[in-house]
Chains A and B, each alone.
Chain A
Amino acid sequence: MAMKVLREVGRKRSGAAWIGGSRGFADCAAAAMGVAERREGGGGTKAVNLFTAVNQALHIALDTDPRSYVFGEDVGFGGVFRCTTGLADRFGKNRVFNTPLCEQGIAGFAIGLAAMGNRAIAEIQFADYIFPAFDQLVNEAAKFRYRSGNEFNCGGLTIRSPYGAVGHGGHYHSQSPEAFFCHVPGLKVVIPRSPREAKGLLLASIRDPNPVIFFEPKWLYRLSVEEVPEGDYMLPLSQAEVIRKGSDITLIGWGAQLAVLEQACEDAAKDGISCELIDLRTLIPWDKETVEASVSKTGKLLISHEAPITGGFGAEIAASIAERCFLRLEAPVARVCGLDTPFPLVYEPFYMPTKNKILDAIKATVNY
């Protein structure tokens, strides 16, 4: 019996990216796992929504690595968005548990757990409530490896958090705080656009040997449904994906905004404009090469995100591409983003970077 359990554990460990023997996570071996696209398991696919895809990823993460834990506010009964359904029943309360209502505690606890060679998969109930954890994430998680000369690291840390608009969330259930974290060397920031992406990117984030902030587009939890491989697979971090080929203009976004950009592409096509659409997927460290190659081809770039335009991550992309593609750009880089106001309840439709705002900006850029 004991032998069997041990063998099972060994098998699971060798399949995962965890490097036994040392605390924390080694730099390169596990990273290599993260980059290799891996498909195994049942091989079949099934149409599921985004929260179910996240749930599948968490099941696999806990199943494949006995040193992995899932915790956060209300995760025990399945979480307020149902992402952790069934985990506590299957893996027990020692590995899946409710925490007290304290985001700084969740983050700090997760860092300590990760620093001991575990995979700490923590949930912050809403991205709007991540700020009490800001100090732990910015000053601790991000610098754990660097400040110790790699004596210690908390690479097993993954923070999951629902972000973005839902249509009725107002100030504190709608924000997109990704840019704050992109400004912090040492943290990775990943945002999926769909169920299949969510599962593969979340597993890669969990197994990546660096602390990762994984923002989930809560508007899509139920809304977005697609065929998702049932087995264990990872999608590479820091690799953007060209999801639509085009020649007149490059559009970049992430998360829920991709769906809006896609509609704009369709409408632009009716007007004879060919858009190339890129999902950045990992915001930091981001895939400049893919974006640069696309803009070198189209000569035009539009970036769109829900967060306020000023100081948003779009500004970083615009500046980098202006540097790299200055002579090939045929128009100023366009940004269609949230307004520089708090996220407003009744004004949400006005605040949002809508399809028609994007379409107008596409036309203005193409006809510059």
Chain B
Amino acid sequence: MAAWLSSELARRAARRIAGELRRRGPGPWFPSSSTVPVLGPTAGYHRGFCSVRRFAGDTAAATATAEDSDNEFAAGELQQVVDFPGGKLSFVGEMNFVPESQRERIKCYRVLDDDGGIIYSSRFQEVSKELALKMYSSMVTLQIMDTIFYEAQRQGRISFYLTSNGEEAINIASAAALSADDIVLPQYREPGVLLWRGFTLQEFANQLFGNKMDYGKGRQMPIHYGSNRLNYFTVSSPIATQLPQAVGAAYSLKMDKKDACAITYFGDGGTSEGDFHAALNFAAVTEAPVIFFCRNNGWAISTPTTEQFRSDGIVTRGQAYGIRSIRVDGNDTLAVYSAVHAAREMAITEGRPILIEAMTYRVGHHSTSDDSTKYRLADEIEHWRTARDPVSRYRKWVQGNSWWCDAEETELRNSVRQEILQAIQVAERIPKHGLAELFTDVYDQVPSNLREQQRSLLDTINKHPSDYPTDVPV
């Protein structure tokens, strides 16, 4: 009551001032005409409350449905438009703040229901039996790879690992919708994209063991895969740095008139970094054919998305930057495939960035350094691991088409398992790169300071051989 009273009093006072100003005629700050381009912010608009009221009152009077002059401020849309840098704007008499959120959350695009049935009336990109089965077997391979490599870390055979559990559909279906020429700039939870492109289980194992066959020459931690041959930029731990880089890569593809786009993956946590915002803005302004693929899995290590942002997820950010966006069920293989397929088409043919937010859940711990039961409920994890598992959901659809049977399932799982165990054994036995590789690639050529440090290191090794691991050939 009291609050209402004081706001009513303020409104009356404002009207009085507005009337007073009207009698005195327009001041020098008044934006005079809609046809004169106004450079810079109009002074009048920055004089505060009263001058805004003045403006509103003056023009509203003609069009307002007001019966008495007291009502002039209740006017809705005004006819007059005024030029600002960036284009014409129409005015409104109501002081309407744009709300912090839409009344309804952006809906999530889905094709498969929880039981793997096609949702009636859903539109999606057809997949052939062959493609469907390749996608399925890749998802299973990714799943088994994660289980065994995770176990290898627990046994102390590799120093670190991180699974993609729960995000198999995102990994494989997005990769399947791309062409091999599209450039991938990953975060770290997308090894399935590389798997899809033909990175062998042996190649994965070689990186994890940092042996002589690791393209990264043993310099980075496990899971930092990369392959020039497969257009997959090497993983880098700092979060979100790959996003603006993807825009630059996409711009290059556009300048070269390639029939290809860049795609960059990132987590919900990554969207908080400055690089995310820089990337979206650059992409919109440079009209770069880049797909921003956000894996919104609910968690950034222990931080839930409720403490990460207050927007309706990531999808709503696109519009603010002028980027077309879609939210998709990330555990729905067909929906992810279709969304990326369409995004790629638009990105390349229309020369524009697209933002995809895939809703999912990080079923595993953040990494082998983490125990997620410290900060989330075991039941929640279990629910997503079982009832919401993207692999079994997709399998139901594949089997529903009579494209797959239990016997094939058993055979696939056994053979993948064998292949991975074999790959680990082989990788373990391959020696590390020689010591010389410690000094190469810092620059294109080894400069004199490093040559000198290499000589002095060799002296030290000769003097104290037992200080150094024997698996690095000197």
Contacts and interface: CB of A to CB of B under 8 A. Distances in A.
Interface stretch (B11-19, B77-85, B108-116, B430-438): B430-438
A44 interface: no
A346 B442 CA distance: 16
A339 B460 contact: no
A354 interface: yes
A320 interface: no
B220 A345 contact: yes
Interface stretch (B30-38, B169-177, B298-306): B298-306
B270 A101 contact: yes
Chain A interface helix/strand/loop/mixed:
loop
Nearest to B274: A104
Contact of A102 (B273, B450, B464): B273
A169 B221 contact: yes
A172 B374 CA distance: 25
Interface in A129-177: 129, 131-132, 168-173
B463 interface: yes
A341 B273 contact: no
B237 A98 contact: no
A350 B457 contact: yes
Contacts of B467: 349, 354, 356
Contacts of A100: 269, 272, 303, 307-309
A360 B463 contact: yes
Contacts of A349: 467-469
A332 interface: no
B45 interface: no
Contact of A347 (B221, B370, B438): B438
B369 A80 contact: yes
Q: Give the interface size class of chain A.
A: 35 or more
Interface string B264-276: 0000011011110
B419 to A, nearest CB: 25
Contacts of B468: 349-350
Contacts of B131: none
Given A132-B274, A339-B453, A356-B460, A345 B237 contact: no
B interface majority secondary structure: loop
Interface in A47-74: 73-74
B237 A350 contact: no
A238 B461 CA distance: 37
A342 interface: yes
Q: Which of A74, A128, A172, A350 has the most CB of B within 10 A?
A: A350
A347 B468 CA distance: 9
B236 interface: yes
Contact of A339 (B159, B236, B302, B438): B438
A345 B301 contact: no
B219 A346 contact: yes
A102 B236 contact: no
A346 B238 contact: no
B106 interface: no
Interface residues of B, number: 48
Given A76-B307, A78-B374, A356-B463, A310 B449 contact: yes
B49 interface: no
Contacts of A342: 219, 442
Given A74-B303, A100-B308, A172-B238, A347 B219 contact: yes
Contacts of B450: 339-341
Contacts of A357: 460
A351 interface: yes
A344 B302 contact: no
Contacts of A80: 301, 369-370
A84 to B, nearest CB: 11
Nearest to A348: B469
Contacts of B439: 339, 341
Nearest to A343: B219
Given A129-B238, A345-B218, A74 B274 contact: no
A105 to B, nearest CB: 7
Given A76-B302, A132-B273, A340 B449 contact: yes
Interface string A94-106: 0001101111110
A125 to B, nearest CB: 8
A219 interface: no
B210 interface: yes
Nearest to B440: A341
B213 to A, nearest CB: 13
Contacts of B237: 128, 170-173
B324 interface: no
Contacts of B224: 170
A77 interface: yes
Contacts of B432: 346
B236 A172 contact: yes
Nearest to B240: A101
Most B Cβ at <10 Å: residue of A78, A104, A128, A341: A341
Interface in B295-340: 300-303, 307-309
A177 to B, nearest CB: 13
Give the one of A168, A340, A345 with max B CB within 10 A.
A345
A7 B453 CA distance: 62
B463 A345 contact: no
Nearest to A133: B274
Contacts of B124: none
A172 B236 CA distance: 8
A105 B309 CA distance: 13
B160 interface: yes
Nearest to B270: A101
Nearest to B438: A347
Interface string A306-318: 0001100000000
The winner among A78, A101, A351 for most chain B CB atoms within 10 A is A101
B464 to A, nearest CB: 4
Contact of B221 (A103, A168, A356): A168
A347 B273 contact: no
B223 to A, nearest CB: 10
A347 B472 contact: yes
A98 to B, nearest CB: 5
Given A171-B219, A339-B450, A73 B303 contact: yes
Contacts of A128: 237-238
Interface string B237-281: 111000000000000000000000000000001101111000000
29 contacts: A76-B307, A77-B374, A80-B369, A98-B303, A100-B272, A100-B307, A100-B309, A101-B272, A101-B303, A103-B273, A132-B273, A168-B160, A171-B219, A171-B221, A310-B449, A339-B453, A340-B442, A342-B442, A344-B219, A345-B159, A345-B218, A346-B469, A347-B437, A347-B438, A349-B468, A350-B438, A350-B472, A356-B463, A356-B464
Given A80-B301, A346-B433, 20 more contacts: A73-B300, A74-B303, A80-B369, A98-B307, A100-B272, A101-B308, A105-B274, A132-B238, A132-B275, A172-B238, A339-B439, A339-B453, A341-B439, A342-B219, A345-B219, A346-B210, A350-B468, A350-B472, A356-B464, A357-B460
Q: Nearest 5 pairs between A and B by C-beta?
A: A346-B218, A100-B272, A172-B237, A170-B221, A168-B159
Interface of A: 73-74, 76-78, 80, 97-98, 100-105, 128-129, 131-132, 168-173, 309-310, 339-342, 344-347, 349-351, 354, 356-357, 360
Interface of B: 159-160, 210, 218-221, 224, 236-239, 269-270, 272-275, 300-303, 307-309, 369-370, 374-375, 432-433, 435, 437-439, 442, 449-450, 453, 457, 460-461, 463-464, 467-469, 472
